[in-house]
Amino acid sequence: MDSDQGKLFIGGISWETSEEKLRDYFGQYGDVLQAVVMKDKTTGRPRGFGFVVFADPAVLDMVLQDKHTIDGRMVEAKRALSREEQQTNARAGNLNPARNTSGGGNIRTKKIFVGGLPPTLTEDGFRQYFEAFGFVADVVIMYDQSTQRPRGFGFISFDTEDAVDRVLQRSFHDLNGKQVEVKRALPKEANPGGGGRSMGGSYQNYGASGGNTSSYDGRMERYMQPQGTGGGFPPYGSSGYSTAGYGYGPATNGVGYGGYSGYTGAGAGYGGPAGAAYGNPNVPNAGYVSGAPGAPRSSWNSQGSSGYGAMGYGNAGSWGAQNAGAGSGGPGSVPAGQSPGGAAGYGNQGYGYSSYGGNDGSYGNPAGYGAVGGRSGGTPNSNVGGPGGAELQGSGGGYMGSGYGDANGNSGYGNAAWRSEQSQASGNYGAPQANGPHGGQVGYGGGYGSSQARKAQQQ
DNA sequence: GTTGAGCGTT
């Protein structure tokens, strides 16, 4: 972690050892930017460890070689683990943190968290200082919601990684004589239900142009219930389709909260985001968070493109034949008058993780991972008329694997079935011959192929 | 007594 270079963990220190003592002691190796002794938050009792940050990371080499005795206790100095590493290790149980020089943090935003702000600092002053590093897209100082007191930290948003990097050259900056600490801001999480504004508002469009929202909803209830075998197919959830993927593309391109504007109508009940990817010309690019102009984004998400939220609803299949003519004029569009209730498929649902990695592009795959929705429903069509018709046959299958999706939304590698002729012919995404009690099946279709699959079947 | 604290709205 950039800002944690030069940071030492000091373990086993005496309860008598003060921060000043730490600073003094380690000051003999080099400039100490910060020395802290951690204390129990509630009791105030020292916890027996602390941190020392050197201005020059190179100093660590020296310090790490020596033994240190402070206040009569032998203390242990180690490189401090970054928080990310800690969390990662804890969660993954990974004992091999791989601290490397490329910046351990695996999540990058173009925002900087600034801690230790003096209460008197104004946003103007804040901004002016950081403008020296690059274009400041946004500045915010946080205040307590009720007391309006400054909370002592804030954020600076830049428009380039470079500016961020320049700031992070040093973990401490001097604003008018007060020292503040900078870190790359943690990406705010796209948490459904968490009430993030980032997700709000963009769903409203749903059905707007289609005009049959309500009927669709009604169907939805019925379709989805029996469909429950989907086993908590997350995108469905309470909030409906709109939440579909929490595409989360931290990394270079910033957070791309997928799941915007699922059903912008565009004629087909489900035109959805897949449009762009799957070539439905009627669908203006909804869904992708990508750089598409007009794609809704979080207001604090000044980042550029490619969130690639990997949403789905890719296919032309509309809910109910009545929709059909309207939309999905794209390739493989579904002819009007299709089977009642139609089989709707949701393509490419899921959680797209976009562009992990640095801005060096080494991982900068614009597409990232997209969990490809769709179930691996097995035997084609054999369920017609079968029990529980609303359920996908072969439903044990779970999702059809995740794969790499490319920027064009093609579903992934290792998932060849989706592309294969057989697959399309077999229509294994919810057979259109829906004989279920509710007049239709809901199939999780592969965005790419499903409508074609149906088409093929009809022919 | 051995890995922190603060992370988002206006």
Query: In which residue are the tokens 């008329």 written?
Result: A385
∠ CA A75-A79-A85, rounded to 5° = 130
**Contacting residues 60-99/A vs strand B (CB within 7 A):** 73, 76, 78-83, 86
Return the structure tokens found at A307. Answer: 């969130």
The CATH H-level (homologous superfamily) assignment of domain A111-184 is RRM (RNA recognition motif) domain (3.30.70.330)
| 3-class DSSP assignment, residue A403 | strand
Q: Which secondary-structure segment (H or E) carries A152?
A: strand A150-158
Alpha helices in A199-254 (DSSP H): 213-224
A51 in contact with nucleic chain B (CB within 7 A): yes
- Smallest Cα–Cα separation from A310: which of A281, A350, A343? A350
The Cα A338–Cα A434 span in angstroms is: 11
Q: How many CA atoms lie within 13 A of A269 on its CB side?
A: 25
Rounded average pLDDT over A140-161: 91
- Smallest Cα–Cα separation from A434: which of A397, A374, A381, A377? A381
The reply to whether A7-92 and A111-184 are identical in fold is yes
**Average model confidence (pLDDT) across chain A:** 52
The Cα A29–Cα A27 span in angstroms is: 5
CA A216 – C1' B8 distance (Å)? 36
CA A38 – C1' B5 distance (Å)? 10
Q: Which burial class, exposed, middle or buried, applies to A65 when counting CB atoms under 10 A from its CB (0-12, 13-18, 19+)?
A: exposed
Nucleotide nearest to A86 (CA to C1'): B3
pLDDT above 90 covers what percent of chain A? 24
The pLDDT tens digits of the residues spanning A202-227 come to: 332 332 233 333 323 322 322 232 22
Is the CB of residue A364 less than 8 Å from the CB of residue A261?
Answer: no
DSSP symbols for A22-38: HHHHHHTTS-EEEEEEE
In what order do the strands lie in the sheet containing A352-353? A352-353, A369-371, A402-404
The Cα A372–Cα A397 span in angstroms is: 13
Residue A158 in this model has a pLDDT that exceeds 80: yes
Residue A321 in this model has a pLDDT that exceeds 80: no
The Cα A47–Cα A34 span in angstroms is: 18
**Domains of chain A by residue range:** 7-92, 111-184
CA A225 – C1' B2 distance (Å)? 53
CA A383 – C1' B3 distance (Å)? 56
CA A113 – C1' B6 distance (Å)? 9
A185 in contact with nucleic chain B (CB within 7 A): yes
Q: So what CATH class is A7-92?
A: alpha beta
A172 in contact with nucleic chain B (CB within 7 A): no
For strand B, the positions having any atom within 7 A of a protein Cβ are 1-10
**Contacting residues 214-273/A vs strand B (CB within 7 A):** none
Q: If you average pLDDT over each of A174-178, A224-228, A420-424, which comes out highest? A: A174-178
Return the structure tokens found at A84. Answer: 């990310």
The pLDDT tens digits of the residues spanning A45-101 come to: 999 999 999 989 999 999 999 999 999 999 999 999 876 666 555 444 444 444 443
Count of residues in chain A: 459
Task: Classify each residue of A118-135 as buried b or exposed e, where b means 16 or more C-beta atoms within 10 Å of its C-beta.
Answer: eeebeeebbeebbeebbe
DSSP symbols for A110-124: SEEEEES--TT--HH
